[in-house]
Structure 1
Amino acid sequence: MAETKKRHWFKTIKKILLWLFVAQFVYIIILRWVNPPFTVTQLVSLVKGQGLKRDYVSYNEMSANAKLAVMAGEDQLFPDHNGFDIKSIKLAMKYNKKHPNKIRGASTISQQVAKNVFLWQGGGFFRKGLEVYFTFMIETFWSKERILQMYLNVAEMGEGIYGIQAASKAYFNKDAINLTRGEAAQIAAALPNPVRFTVKPVSRFVAFRSANILRQMANLEPDPDVQQLIK
């Protein structure tokens, strides 16, 4: 009798896991065209009382300056890699061994989308493992344009502010399509910690980093693969 119950529970668990796998796969495919109704990070923001300012916009409603700025600031190899920047990961691991109190990340835009859309903030091997899986999946089934669009729509860009359109309205009182190079660079400069590093008023970190991002934007812009993404 006990053995029969074990087999029953084993089959039930297998069915549940199978349905969960199918459901997440279908969800990934749907999000190739449809924006997520919410993310875990956005829900946490609401629960904490930080509010939720969010307004999804299409790829064509995003300034080329915004697309270029986040690549310059967050992931300069985005057009070319398959979701992972192995060189940067190795450098970060080497740095973190020498500076355990100053952890440096090496997440690509694709990895950040995987985390922001499907997972939760924080670390841990389990979450990192899931991040690798979802990064592989979106790189396989989405286009680079869709990944960049999703990043610019769901990334936290201030306390309770998510996406480039909400950030543009909050900081510069304009639509994302009209962002100047300097404005886009300031928003991109805050991305490592948009609650701590403020765009309005401009923090010292954002002022310093945005100047560097502007220089990197000028270096990246002529690249044909970058041009294909920002047009």
Structure 2
Amino acid sequence: MFRIIKWLLALPLAVFVFFNAYVYGNIITYRAVAPHQSAFMSMRMNEYRSAGKDVALDYRWVPYERISVNLKKALIASEDANFAAHSGFDWGGIRYAMKRNRQSGEIRGGGSTISQQLSKNLFLNSWQSYIRKGEEAAITAMLEATTDKDRIFELYLNVIEWSHGVFGAEAAAQKFYGKPAAVLSKQQAAKLAARVPAPLFYADNPKSRRLRGKTNIILRRMGSAELPESEM
């Protein structure tokens, strides 16, 4: 009986170690190779299939230099103003999110940097819990320790969800504007960035006032957005 209990206690630790070894190996690979598909993409497409929805995956990888600087600045302005300077975490934002979670009695998103969002998209799912947030933090630390900022941003730009089955800057630019991501205007880039926190809601509500309001806020902030050093 004692051996069984010991084995049951050791099993979660073994799973944690093996999963993080798998993640680390993939992070090293992704420094040079584009992901075939992210965990979040797989989860979302499985949801569509389970619901009987005929949604095709549109995921088109493009190199960093073939994505408009306008879109890069718009996403920095919208999602993570200190991306170029921090080491993966916005501690002020995390404290605020934890306070909001305590007040609401629920575990919600919030306070996540671009690096944390990428960690979740590549390897985790949308389930909100402190365990998942802890794993997200571990993956973010590995990502920041091994990968240049511009590569992190390149990965992020290519795996973001923008609509039903639409992932990445190139697929989004083609869907919404019929043009490559490389030539997006400031207005178009700001509107795409405004969709990121709730892409499926905005896909179903394209005339939302909230979308227009956030687009205008992002446009005002883009001028002061600091990109990773290689883009500055």
TM tier, shorter chain?
0.7 to 0.9
Q: How does 1:6-17 map to 2 (within 5 A)?
A: none
1:180 positional shift: 0.4
Which residue matches 1:186? 191
Equivalents in 2 of 1:199, 1:61: separation in Å?
Answer: 28
**SS of match in other structure, 1:186:** helix
Equivalents in 1 of 2:152, 2:7: separation in Å?
Answer: 41
Q: Within the alignment, does 1:63 sit opposite 2:64 as a pair?
A: no
**Contact 2:40/2:123 (<8 A) preserved:** no
Q: Within the alignment, does 1:114 sit opposite 2:119 as a pair?
A: yes
Equivalents in 1 of 2:213, 2:228: separation in Å?
Answer: 26
Q: How does 1:43-192 map to 2 (within 5 A)?
A: 43-47=42-46, 48=48, 49=53, 50-100=55-105, 103=108, 105-192=110-197
CA 1:167/1:17 → structure 2, altered by over 3 Å: closer, same or farther?
closer
Q: Which deviates more from structure 2 when the two are superposed, residues 25-34 or residues 199-208?
A: 199-208
CA 1:117/1:148 → structure 2, altered by over 3 Å: closer, same or farther?
same
CA 1:184/1:24 → structure 2, altered by over 3 Å: closer, same or farther?
same
CA 1:182/1:58 → structure 2, altered by over 3 Å: closer, same or farther?
same
Deviations 1:93-129 (A, max 9, x none): 2334445579561100000000001111121122111
Q: Within the alignment, does 1:213 sit opposite 2:213 as a pair?
A: no
Which residue matches 1:39? 38
1:25 positional shift: 2.1
Equivalents in 1 of 2:29, 2:178: separation in Å?
Answer: 32
Q: Which deviates more from structure 2 when the two are superposed, residues 193-202 or residues 181-190?
A: 193-202
Q: Say what the alpha-carbon RMSD is for the aligned residues.
A: 3.0
Equivalents in 2 of 1:102, 1:22: separation in Å?
Answer: 27
**Contact 1:198/1:206 (<8 A) preserved:** no
Which residue matches 2:229? 228
Q: Within the alignment, does 1:25 sit opposite 2:24 as a pair?
A: yes
Q: Which amino acid aligns with 2:25?
A: V
Ranges in structure 1 where 5+ consecutive residues have no aligned partner:
none
Equivalents in 2 of 1:9, 1:31: separation in Å?
Answer: 34
Q: Which deviates more from structure 2 when the two are superposed, residues 192-201 or residues 116-125?
A: 192-201
| TM superposition score normalised by structure 2 | 0.85
Equivalents in 2 of 1:96, 1:193: separation in Å?
Answer: 19
Equivalents in 2 of 1:68, 1:206: separation in Å?
Answer: 18
Equivalents in 2 of 1:210, 1:67: separation in Å?
Answer: 14
Q: Which amino acid aligns with 2:28?
A: I
**SS of match in other structure, 1:112:** helix
Deviations 1:145-181 (A, max 9, x none): 0111111100101111101100000000000000001
Q: Which deviates more from structure 2 when the two are superposed, residues 142-151 or residues 96-105?
A: 96-105
